[in-house]
Amino acid sequence: MNEVTTGQEILIVTGMSGAGRSTVANTLEDLGWYVVDNLPLSMVKTLADMADKSGGALPRIAAVVDVRGRDLFADIQETVNELRHTATVRVVFLDAADDILVRRYESVRRPHPLQVEAGGLLEGIRLERERSQELRATSDVVVDTSSYNVHQLTTATREMFSAEDTAGLQLTVMSFGFKYGAPTDVDLMADMRFIPNPFWETELRPLTGVDPAVKDYVLSREGASEFIDAYVAALTPVFAGFQRENKRHASLAIGCTGGKHRSVAVARELADRLAGLPGVSVQLRHRDLGRE
């Protein structure tokens, strides 16, 4: 890992057109980041050099980069490798499902940047996704904005980047229901469907994993406590390694069928346990609770 010699932080914000780059840029600016939108990638190094000579006047820079360039992946890798000698650099990739992107473009009545080249809106989105898949796979932070409106994306951005000067790892533990689709923007995922479902217990069905009765039922089933103990033990060296590698954000998704009982109870228990690890701060989120 390259040694960083200054306290400067640089975010390269990129991703699918329509996934929320402008919203993220505006939020970062409100948080005090120096944001440059649609900056040619070749200028990012120049901007970083200027900031380095500013005497700490620009400690946090966010460069919003268009993902459509054919050689963007190679260019970003080269730029990031150069910048990491003098700054903490991360690539943030914003994504959303194709049908969501279509809906967003239709609502604003604007053409997709690759629509003419590809021969249609959906074709343009697919071409952009094809060109960006390698970059997405290697980005430091991937945010799927499919389920976010503007206000929710603003909140999520604030949670991720408003406390960048805080040491350690910011961990998001999220419960979800597989029947609503597995999340695509998480680092780790576990499936709680091996635990008997409280849904089939008449008195527990209307309750949720937040209720003590459901929690006690879930955690007392065979294998549940053993899994939690073993999983916390397995995650402990992982999160310590993340911190050594300067990875500041991580996400853990806990799933069950509907995201109401088992995943909620286990996510809450894991969040409590993991919050006790050195250098780890935890945020708990229930994606699908109440959705039914």
Q: How far apart are CA 198 and CA 124, in angstroms?
A: 45
| 1 is an annotated ligand-binding site residue | no
Query: Does 67 carry a binding-site annotation?
Result: yes
Annotated binding residue at 66?
yes
20 appears as a binding residue in the annotation:
yes
- Region of 2 please: left (phi>0), alpha (psi -120 to 50) or beta: beta
Residue 15 marked as a ligand binder: yes
160 annotated as a binding-site residue: no
43 labeled binding residue: no
Q: Please choose, from the candidates 158, 156, 186, the residue with its C-alpha nearest in 3D space to the C-alpha of residue 174.
A: 186
How far is C-alpha 48 from the chain's CA centre?
25
Q: Does 18 carry a binding-site annotation?
A: yes
Q: Is 140 annotated as a binding residue?
A: no
**54 has which bridge partners?**
none
176: nearest Cα among 74, 30, 284, 249: 284
Q: State how far the Cα of 264 lies from the Cα of 208, in Å rounded to an integer.
A: 7
Specify burial of residue 211 (Cβ count, 10 A radius: 0-12, 13-18, 19+): middle
Q: Quote the distance between the C-alpha of residue 142 and its chain's center.
A: 5
Binding annotation: 15-22, 66-69
Binding annotation for GTP: 66-69
Binding annotation for ATP: 15-22
